[in-house]
Amino acid sequence: MNILLNYERNGDSHTLKSYLKRDGYKSLSQLKKYQPAEVLEEVKRSGIRGRGGAGFPAGLKWSFLPKHTEKPIYLICNGDEGEPGTFKDRVILEENPHMLIEGIIFSSYAINAAHAYIYIRGEYGFAVRRVQAAVKEAYDAGYLGKPVKGTKYTCDITVHQGAGAYVVGDETGLMNSIEGKKGQTRNKPPFPAIEGLYGCPTIINNVETLASVPYIIENGGANYAKLGTEKSTGTKLLSISGHVRKPGVYEVVMGYPFMKFLNEYCGGVLGGRKLKAVIPGGSSTPVLRPEDCENMTLDYESISAAGSSLGSGAIMIIAEGTCMVKTLKVLTHFYHHESCGQCTPCREGTGWLNKIVGRIEAGQGTMDDLDLLTSITKHIAMHTICPLGDAACGPVDSFVKKFRDEFVAHIELKKCPYNSTFTRLQERV
């Protein structure tokens, strides 16, 4: 079932004309029937959870706003999609931006926000241009900047392009960036719902989350909740990459069997090779072995029970013949490079992790290095202001645990046991 990908790909779906043909903005005519609290209740009733990675119920998050405040309330759409392996929000931004805009109008109305921001990662230049064009179309057509028909409510949207930094994917770092400050995270509390953008109450949600709201309002939260599982409702966009025959972005109903998705939707493992490992929710989520995935379904609870996380829905497939130590070296390099340097455990620790994994991969490691890796992660995780430190530790701990034999082989043989035949395949992970 397609809610977010309800159009023919690679066409003119990004235009207002195309969106109107798909009954776009039709739901706005229902806005006059709702009080803001009623829209919020529909979103609560849908059970939709944040699609950015944390999976926190969106409606519950909105309800954290202060009931009575003289300050303006802001809504921010988080389009800083920086998690390695994640590219599902880009599809909405580039191909279905008007659905996102309509979702922002509904969501802003629900929380009494008159001004919303769409924050898009610096590397997404094409997406920025597409969204800016869609916002202009929405203004010209009177959906933005003027009272919604039958109401006194007006919504304005500002598109803000980031400068290219992983840490601004965190809510508070993103707000600092919009304010023109260094894109580093803030201490919490205060939380954004109480004191966020410009010191005002702020709600921040992911692109996919907000783009789902028009369907929820048009069809009712209860009907949306019928899709998926009891605790993981609705559909989910999944970006799959690595050693897979048909990489790309797919929309599935929550609870869909993982192996069926891999083999039927995505064509199975590239080159007919055997599956060696799966990273199910972006590079920060723990890696799984094939046996962990046999009965796994694509929802928050099942993947958690398997020992990992659905995260942002970025699935990376790793085939037999791939060196897991070298793969981990690539990941630790990323987190070391993206550390903003604000917190000492992350600034120093991510560099140490990268150096040690690199040493092992080069055949210069010792058995003590394995214990040293897990010791360092214990001193990084939960000791930093933003989640980057935790994100860097997840793959290290899980790779060493799940594929310890490969690390030992590198140490004992004093070289990588895999020959160069698989190098090009591995580079695609």
Upper half-sphere CA count for residue 374 (Cβ side, 13 Å): 11
For 207, other C-beta atoms within 10 Å of its C-beta total: 32
Residues 43-47, mean pLDDT to the nearest whole number: 96
- Domain spanning 235-319, CATH class: alpha beta
What is the Cα Rg of the chain in Å? 22
Q: What pLDDT sits at residue 320?
A: 94
Contact 385, 343 (CB under 8 A): yes
Rounded distance between C-alpha atoms, residue 239 and residue 419, angstroms: 29
Query: What pLDDT digit, counting tens, does each position of 154-172 carry?
Result: 999 999 999 888 999 999 9
Copy the structure tokens of residue 192: 């954004």
Rounded distance between C-alpha atoms, residue 18 and residue 12, angstroms: 6
Task: For 121, list phi and psi in degrees, rounded to 5.
Answer: -60, 150
Query: What pLDDT digit, counting tens, does each position of 171-185 carry?
Result: 999 999 999 999 899
Upper half-sphere CA count for residue 46 (Cβ side, 13 Å): 28
CA distances from residue 125 to 1, 92, 116 in whole angstroms, order as listed: 30, 14, 20
- Better-scored residue on pLDDT, 52 or 200: 200
Helices 404-413 and 388-402 sit at what angle, rounded to 10 degrees? 70
CA distances from residue 365 to 5, 353, 355 in whole angstroms, order as listed: 47, 12, 10
Q: What pLDDT sits at residue 164?
A: 84
User: What is the percent of the chain with per-residue pLDDT over 70, rounded to a whole number?
Assistant: 97
Place of tokens 């191909």: 95
Q: What pLDDT sits at residue 325?
A: 96
User: What is the percent of the chain with per-residue pLDDT over 90, rounded to a whole number?
Assistant: 87
Query: What pLDDT digit, counting tens, does each position of 376-394 carry?
Result: 999 999 999 988 999 999 9
- In this structure, which amino acid lies at residue 375? S
CATH number, span 16-225: 3.40.50.11540
Residues β-bridged to residue 253:
235
Query: What pLDDT digit, counting tens, does each position of 285-336 carry?
Result: 999 999 999 999 999 999 999 999 999 999 999 999 999 999 999 999 999 9
pTM recorded for the entire structure? 0.93
Query: What pLDDT digit, counting tens, does each position of 79-128 carry?
Result: 999 899 999 999 999 999 999 999 999 999 999 999 999 999 999 999 99
Residue 427 confidence (pLDDT) above 60:
no
Cα 6–Cα 207–Cα 250 angle in degrees, nearest 5: 45
Contact 313, 237 (CB under 8 A): yes
- Nearest CA to 77 among 102, 57, 112? 102
The architecture in CATH of the region 324-427 reads Up-down Bundle (1.20)
Q: What pLDDT sits at residue 55?
A: 87
pLDDT band of 37, cuts 50, 70, 90: very high
CA distances from residue 154 to 19, 113, 143, 149 in whole angstroms, order as listed: 21, 9, 9, 10
Residue 419 burial class via C-beta count within 10 angstroms: exposed 0-12, middle 13-18, buried 19 and up: exposed
Copy the structure tokens of residue 333: 């390099």
Residue 150 confidence (pLDDT) above 90:
no
Report how far Cα 14 is from the mean position of its chain's Cα atoms.
Answer: 21
> 214: cis peptide before it, omega within 30°?
no
Q: What pLDDT sits at residue 102?
A: 97
Q: What pLDDT sits at residue 27?
A: 87
For 209, other C-beta atoms within 10 Å of its C-beta total: 25
